[in-house]
Amino acid sequence: MTNNSKAEAGIYKETLIRGLWRENPVFRLLLGMCPTLAVTIAVKPALTMGLSVVFVLVCSNIVVSLIRNLLKPHLRILMFTVTIATFVTIADLFLKAFVPEMSARLGPYVPLIIVNCIIICRAETCASKNSLGISIIDALGMGAGFTVTLCVLASIREILSTGAIFEIPILNLQSQGGWFVPWAAMSMPVGAFITLGLMLGLVNAVTKKQAKG
């Protein structure tokens, strides 16, 4: 019995950590690229986006896991999408009511969580095959991996484009007598594509090194 629960705890831990690095949704699986590129102008919207995705991911994984035995194969994608759309509507209304500013800033990218491949991918590969506990842990791990990645990317872009992180100034701007000239390109689509490309390259290089050593 103790052995059993120990093994179970091991599986939970493994599932949780998997989403953070080994199967990181953005770097490894290349899922959910659109929000990754679109909302990472600054850390605040990135964090809001990440948390909304965690919420939707956990809720939809719970529902899908509970109804997994009733699913018909040819209708399952449709069921997933409708479930996800429902929770996204909830998240969207919540953001509109409590943080209207942020909601306006994120614009259509909140409803676009519906078509975020991460959520469908987890529903399909994990929640529709596993028990409730594992599904929730998996959702938390994947969501955390996504949020952390977004925040890292957003910090790089925010500090290079405005010299601040979380809207707190860090670098001395030239316009205020300092030395740092903001990179305008970083706040534009170009910056998003190139930063993400270079980060993917970095992750690949690190992985190769790990595999060798």
Partner 1 sequence: MDTVNTLIVGFISIVLINNLVFTKFLGICPYLGVSGRIDMAFGMGMAVTFVVTLSGTLTWLIDNLILMPLNLEVTRYVCFILVIAGAVQLVEMYVRKFFPSLYESFGIFLPLITTNCAILGLCLFINLWGIDSLLEAVVLSFGAGIGFTMAICIMAGIRENLNLADVPECLKGAPITLITAGLLALAFMGFAGMIR
Interaction site with partner 1 (CB under 8 A): 30-31, 33-35, 37-38, 77-78, 81-82, 85-86, 88-89, 92-93, 107-108, 111-112, 114-117, 120, 185, 188-194, 196-198, 200-202, 204-205, 208
Cβ proximity to partner 1: between 148 and 200 the closer is: 200
Distance CA 67, CA 123 (A): 11
Give the nearer residue to partner 1 in terms of CB position, either 91 or 134.
Answer: 91
Residue 29 or 62: the one with the smaller Cβ distance to partner 1 is 29
What CA dihedral angle connects 66, 68, 74 and 79, to 10 degrees? Answer: 10
CB of 176 to partner 1, least distance (A): 28
Angle (nearest 5°) at CA 36 between 31 and 39: 155
- The string of DSSP letters for 3-38 reads HHHHHHHHHHHHHHHHHHTTT-TTTTT---HHHHHH
- Residues 157 and 151: their CA atoms lie apart, in Å, by 10
CB of 32 to partner 1, least distance (A): 8
Nearer to partner 1, 16 or 37 (CB): 37
- Among residues 31, 80, 39, 61, the alpha carbon closest in space to that of 140 is found at 61
Nearest distance in Å: CB 164, partner 1: 23
Residue 17 vs 121, nearer CB to partner 1: 121
What's the closest the beta carbon of residue 138 comes to partner 1, in angstroms? 19
Name the minimum Å distance from CB 186 to partner 1. 11
How many Å apart are CA 82 and CA 85, to the nearest integer? Answer: 5
